[in-house]
Structure 1
Amino acid sequence: MTRILSRKHFLGAAALAATTLLLPTWAQAQAGGYPARPIRLVVPFAPGGNTDILARMVGQGLTESLGQPVVVDNVSGANGSIGASRVASSAADGYTLLFGTAGTQAINQSLYKNLGEKNLDDFEYVAMVTSIPNVLVVNDTKGAPKTVAELAASEKARREGLNYGSPGTGSTVHLSGELFKTATKLNLVHVPYKGSSLALTDLMGGQIDFIFENVTPALPFIQGGKLRALAVTSAERIPVLPNVPTMKELGYANFVTATWNGVLAPKGTPAAIVKRLEEATLKVAASPEFKERVTALGGEVKPLAGPAFRDFTRSEYRHWGAIIKDAGVPRQ
C-alpha cells in the first residue's frame, strides 16, 4: 500500500535530505576558507634553544605558504608537557598548533605520573620535519679526554665518578647520559640545569665533566675551540662534524639518540585542515633554503607525512621508555 506523506512529514524529510547533502559541501567550504586569521604555533620550551630556532624557521615558511601569519608562542615547563597540554585542550580548528619534540611526544609519558594528556592519542599528526642528534662534549683544556675510551678511563682512575649535565630531567640530553651510564656501568651523576646555556657554561668552567648536548647549542663552542667533541649519537657522521665518530662506530651498537620536531594539532581537527597543514609543512621541509639552514645547525631534515609521523612517534615512545626503565630513572 502506497503511503502518502503529510505536508509536515514531507517538508521534514526534504530538510533532512538537504542537510545531509550539504554537510560535505559545508566541511569543504570550512577547509577551503582556512586559514582566515593568524595561526599560533606553540613551542613548549623557552626562546633561544634549537626547538625555538627551528619552529621560527618553520613558522616563517608556513606564513608564506598559507598566507596568514604563524606566530610562535613559547610556553615552557615540565620538559615541554605544559605547552603540549595547552595545545591538546585547545579548540580543534587548526589555529593552535604544537611544535612537538621527542620529549613532549615520546618521553614524558614514561617519565611523568600526572600528565594532562597522554600525547600519543590526543593529537592529530601533521608532519615531522627535523632530527637533531646529540654530541658528547668535554671541556677542551690540556689533559681533557680526547676519546670516549679516555673519558671512561678517567672515571675509573678518579674513583669518585663523573658529573654530567643536561638542560633538564627527561631531555634527550639527560637520557643519553643515562644510556651511557647503563652501557658502561660507570659511576655517573646527573646534574640538571634550567637550560643548555647554563650547563654548557659550567662545563667550560670545569664544574661538570661532560654533556651529551644537542648539536645545535654545542656547535659554536666546538667550532670556537672551547669544547671538544668526542662522539655524536646519530646513526652516521654528520656534515658539520665530519671527523667526529658516532657512538655506534665506537662499539655502542644501540646508541642512537636524537631530538626531533614536528607539527601537531589538537585531536579532532578536521581532516581537510590537517591535510592542508601537512602539505604546507612538507613544502617548507623540502625547501633547499630550509635544508641548508638545518644542516648548518647540525641537524637533518627528516620529513614524514602525518601517518608515518604517528608511527615514528610510537616507535620512539618504546625506545625512550626502554632507556628510562633500564636506567631506573624515577618517575617525576
Structure 2
Amino acid sequence: MSARAGRGDGGRRGLTRRAALAAPLLALPLPGRAQEGFPSRPLRIVIPFTPAGTTDLTGRLAAERLSARLGQPVVVENRPGAGGNVGAEFVARAEPDGYTLLLTTIGTGAINFAVYGDRMPYKPGDLAAVGLLSRVPNVLMVPPSLPVQSVAELVALAKQRPGGLNYGTAGIGSSPHICTELFALQAGVRMTHVPYRGSAPMLTELMAGRVELGMDNIPSALPFIRDGKLRALATTGAARSAVLPDVPTMQEAGIAGFEATAWFGLLAPAATPKPVIARLGREVDAVARDPAFRSRMAELGADLPSLTPDGGSSPEGFETFLAAEREKWADVVRRSGAKVE
C-alpha cells in the first residue's frame, strides 16, 4: 500500500511539475491566434496635421466607415508637426499590431523624403502600405484684396516683384507646397514660401491678406471660396473640378502640362503581421469603393475614382503607387530646390 501510494504521489508531483512548466507556454499566443481575432479592441488613426483640413476630413470619414466594417471603434488622433513627420514617426514606432494606423498624405508618403533628406525621422520601409482612400486636386487662391483675377495676372504680378509675393501652404513638404513650387518653375517666377502647421491657420492668414496667395486641397478651401472670402484662380487636376466648374485647370489657365493631385491613404508599422495588413487592406478597399464614402468625398471635391493603378486599393497596389510618387516628386523637389534648411 505504502509503496503504491508513494509511486502515486511521485506521479502526481511529476504531473504538477510538467503543468507548471507548461503554464508559461500556454500563456503565450499561438502563431496567428491574435491575428485570427483581429480586431478585438478599438483602433486609432493618427492624422499628422491639425483638425479641419482635408487630411482630417478624409481621416474622420474613413474612420467612421472602417468602424462599421470592423465592428470596433476607430478613434482619430491629431499629431501635427514637421510637415506631418511627427505623426508619421509616431506610427512608424508604434506597436506593429494593426491597431495604430497613419492617415498618410502625398507629403508624409512621398514628398517629405526628398524635402527633408537626411533629416527624415523615418524611412519608407518603416511603414507598410494598407490602401489608398482618395485623390484630391489642389486649388490656387488669392484673397479678394489682391488685384488679380487670373493666373496670367498673378504671373505678371510675380514677375514685377521677384520673390516679393508670399504664398502660404499647410506646411513644408505638403502637396500644396510642392505644387506651388512646380507652378513657379513652369511659370518662370520666384515667390517666397510661408509654411503653416496645417490648412486652417494658412487659410485664416490668406483670407486676412497676410500672404498674397495660397494653395490648398479643394475640400478644405471650398467653403471659403463659395462664401467669396477667397478667389480661386485654377485647380490642379487634369479636368475641371465638379465642385468648382467655373474655375479653369492650370493647363487651361496657361501653365502647359501642369497636373498634380494630392492623395490620402492608410499605412501601418512595417512589422505588422501580413494577415492583419491583408484584412485591413480588404476593408480599406471596401471603404474606397463604398458609395456613401465616395459620395461624401465627391461633395468635398475629391477626384474620383480613388483607386490605385492596378484597379483597386490593395496593399500591393498602394505600395507600387507610393514608389512611383516618391520618384516623381523627388524630381520636382530637386529642380525647385525646395529643401528644409
Deviation per residue, 1:149-172 (Å, 9 max, x gap)? 111122334567322111222211
Q: For residue 318 of structure 2, what is the amino acid of its counterpart? A: F
Q: For residue 316 of structure 1, report the CA deviation from its aligned partner.
A: 1.0
Q: 1:132 aligns with which of 128, 131, 136?
A: 136
Q: 1:311 aligns with which of 317, 320, 336?
A: 320
Deviation per residue, 1:276-323 (Å, 9 max, x gap)? 111111111211111111011111341321111111111111121111
Q: 2:112 aligns with which of 103, 108, 113?
A: 108
Runs of 4+ in 1 over 4 A off after TM superposition: 25-28, 157-160
Q: Does 1:256 align with 2:259?
A: yes
Deviation per residue, 1:240-297 (Å, 9 max, x gap)? 0112111123343442223211111111212211111111111112111111110111
Q: Does 1:71 align with 2:75?
A: yes
Q: Does 1:151 align with 2:154?
A: yes
Q: For residue 151 of structure 1, what is the amino acid of its counterpart? A: L
| Partner Cα separation in structure 2 for residue 196 and residue 83 of structure 1 | 16
Q: Which moved more, 1:226-235 or 1:248-257?
A: 248-257
Q: What is the match of residue 329 of structure 2?
A: 320
RMSD: 1.9
Runs (5+) with no aligned partner, structure 1: 1-24
Q: For residue 34 of structure 1, report the CA deviation from its aligned partner.
A: 0.7
Q: For residue 234 of structure 1, report the CA deviation from its aligned partner.
A: 0.9
Q: What is the match of residue 4 of structure 1?
A: none
* Residue-pair matches, total: 306
SS of 2:283 mapped into structure 1:
helix
83 and 156 in structure 1: CA distance in 2 versus 1, 3 angstrom threshold: closer
Q: What is the match of residue 185 of structure 1?
A: 188
Q: What is the match of residue 42 of structure 2?
A: 38
Deviation per residue, 1:16-64 (Å, 9 max, x gap)? xxxxxxxxx9545433211111112111112221111111111111111
Q: What is the match of residue 166 of structure 1?
A: 169
285 and 314 in structure 1: CA distance in 2 versus 1, 3 angstrom threshold: same
Q: Does 1:277 align with 2:280?
A: yes
Equivalent pair of 2:106/2:263 in contact (CA under 8 Å): yes
Equivalent pair of 1:92/1:269 in contact (CA under 8 Å): yes
The 5 A counterparts of 1:3-42 are 26-42=30-46
Q: What is the match of residue 329 of structure 1?
A: 338
SS of 2:148 mapped into structure 1:
coil
| Partner Cα separation in structure 2 for residue 30 and residue 111 of structure 1 | 39
Q: Does 1:268 align with 2:271?
A: yes
74 and 206 in structure 1: CA distance in 2 versus 1, 3 angstrom threshold: closer
Q: For residue 264 of structure 2, what is the amino acid of its counterpart? A: N
Q: What is the match of residue 5 of structure 1?
A: none
Equivalent pair of 1:84/1:100 in contact (CA under 8 Å): yes
| Partner Cα separation in structure 2 for residue 263 and residue 187 of structure 1 | 35
Q: Does 1:215 align with 2:224?
A: no
SS of 1:222 mapped into structure 2:
helix
Equivalent pair of 1:216/1:298 in contact (CA under 8 Å): yes
| Partner Cα separation in structure 2 for residue 201 and residue 46 of structure 1 | 13
Q: What is the match of residue 224 of structure 1?
A: 227
265 and 155 in structure 1: CA distance in 2 versus 1, 3 angstrom threshold: closer
SS of 1:133 mapped into structure 2:
strand
Q: What is the match of residue 11 of structure 1?
A: none
| Partner Cα separation in structure 2 for residue 329 and residue 97 of structure 1 | 28
| Partner Cα separation in structure 2 for residue 258 and residue 73 of structure 1 | 25
Q: For residue 116 of structure 1, report the CA deviation from its aligned partner.
A: 2.6
Equivalent pair of 1:110/1:331 in contact (CA under 8 Å): no
Q: What is the match of residue 20 of structure 1?
A: none
68 and 108 in structure 1: CA distance in 2 versus 1, 3 angstrom threshold: same
Name the larger-Rg structure: 2
| Partner Cα separation in structure 2 for residue 318 and residue 86 of structure 1 | 24
TM-score when normalising by structure 2: 0.84
| Partner Cα separation in structure 1 for residue 245 and residue 154 of structure 2 | 21
| Partner Cα separation in structure 2 for residue 156 and residue 123 of structure 1 | 42
94 and 148 in structure 1: CA distance in 2 versus 1, 3 angstrom threshold: same
